[in-house]
Amino acid sequence: MIEATFEWVDIGGLSEIPPRGSRQVKVDNYAIAIFRTADDRVYAIEDRCPHLGGPLSQGIVHGTAVTCPLHSWVISVESGKVLGSDTDCVRTIPVRKDNGRILLRFPFYSEQVA
């Protein structure tokens, strides 16, 4: 795993994401889904369903999970895990709230080991 120089980047205000909703952050062709839950917690995961690549930012958000719009896999936005599966998961990305702003930590590097 390569460590990069992490910096927190302001990506927008909390109010720009509807509660129980999501917005995309694009880094070139790489897409990150930022989720806002009903109780205003914020999570970020890679915007790619481990099933067949569905855009998770387009799914219905419930609790701390999102249902993929293509074939309805349910993914925890908190842990990135596919619910009901022990193996499948999506990468999570560090994100935090600060004074109504959302900060994302990137650039990040691939953690691929294999």
Q: By CB under 8 A, tell whether 94 contacts other proteins.
A: no
Exactly one of 6, 27, 40, 96 binds other proteins (CB under 8 A); that residue is 27
Q: By CB under 6 A, tell whether 93 contacts ligand FES.
A: no
Q: Are 58 and 49 in contact (CB under 8 A)?
A: no
16 touches, from other proteins, ligand FES, none (C-beta below 5 to 8 Å by class): other proteins
DSSP secondary structure, 51-96, as one string = TT---GGGSEEETTEEE-TTT--EEETTT-BBTT-SS-B--B--EE
Query: Closest separation between CB of residue 86 and other proteins, Å?
Result: 20
The footprint of ligand FES on residues 11-50 (CB under 6 A) is 49
